[in-house]
Amino acid sequence: MHTKYNELQYQFHDLYIAKCDNILLKKEIEIKKKMFIGKAYFRIDQKRIRELLLVTNREHEEILEMFKSGDGEKLRFFLEHTHWRLENAQYDIW
């Protein structure tokens, strides 16, 4: 299940990279893609993985809405302070 989820994560982020005109954002997304949680699912409790992935999906929905509304400042704040929050970094760096 998680392998397929990770494939979908890559596709999701590749879509933004393809559509985005902001070179800095494109580079940041490429960096983040290399650190996806899925590379070490076996190290994380299965219940915790599910919780993290559900939160991530909800955040992606919010990000999509911010892209659609064109609110760049709100989107940037959300990415920096919510989606890429420090407490989840422990899951991204393996």
pTM of the entire predicted model: 0.68
Measured distance CA(11)–CA(91) in Å, rounded: 20
Cα–Cα separations (whole angstroms), residue 40 to 20, 43, 44, 58, 91:
29, 6, 7, 21, 8
pLDDT at 94: 42
pLDDT at 53: 82
pLDDT at 32: 74
pLDDT at 74: 93
What three-state secondary structure class fits 34?
Answer: coil
Phi-psi region of 89 (alpha: psi -120 to 50; beta: other; left: phi over 0): alpha
Splitting the chain (94 residues) into consecutive groups of 10 residues, what average pLDDT does each group show? 73 81 82 65 76 87 90 88 78 54
Measured distance CA(86)–CA(94) in Å, rounded: 15
